[in-house]
């Protein structure tokens, strides 16, 4: 992958993960914090965001087996940001250590080049 492909892929993945995590957070709020027609509105908003996530993830100009690595690394970072904003969840040492492994693994999957057979 050249630098442009990486930047373009990261943009698509950043949008996709932001949509996914936001959609998940809204669905969680619908389940646990809302009632009646407001709950239905939250579910609908969550569904729209999750549909957008699936669309943007698959528009990333990277082979699927490589996009997964970048996606997982990006997802972890965005998830922690949304968790803090939406639920005031702070990072703990297990999250930091596990997250560093997730990010490292994602980068290995995305960028490790193997010789063609």
Helix (H, G, I), strand (E, B) or coil at 71: helix
* Contact yes or no for 109/68 (Cβ under 8 A): yes
pLDDT digits (tens, 9 = 90+) for 8-31: 888 888 999 999 999 999 999 999
Backbone angles phi, psi at 86, to 5 degrees: -80, -35
Distances (CA, A) of 28 to 48, 63, 111: 14, 31, 34
Tell me the C-alpha distance between 35 and 37, whole Å: 7
- Amino acid 109: pLDDT: 84
Question: What are the boundaries of each domain within the chain?
Answer: 3-111
Residues 57, 54: Cα–Cα separation, whole Å: 5
Mean pLDDT value across residues 93-105: 95
pTM of this structure: 0.75
Q: Tell me: the pLDDT tens digits for 52-81?
A: 999 998 888 877 777 788 888 888 998 899
């Amino acid at each position: 992958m050249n630098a442009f492909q990486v930047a373009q892929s990261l943009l698509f993945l950043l949008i996709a993960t932001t949509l996914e995590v936001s959609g998940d957070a809204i669905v969680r709020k619908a389940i646990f914090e809302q009632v009646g027609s407001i709950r239905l509105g939250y579910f609908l908003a969550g569904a729209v965001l999750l549909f957008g996530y699936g669309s943007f993830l698959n528009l990333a100009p990277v082979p699927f087996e490589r996009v997964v690595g970048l996606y997982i690394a990006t997802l972890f970072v965005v998830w922690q940001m949304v968790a803090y904003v939406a639920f005031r969840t702070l990072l703990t040492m297990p999250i930091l250590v596990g997250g560093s492994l997730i990010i490292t693994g994602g980068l290995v999957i995305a960028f490790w080049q193997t010789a063609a057979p």
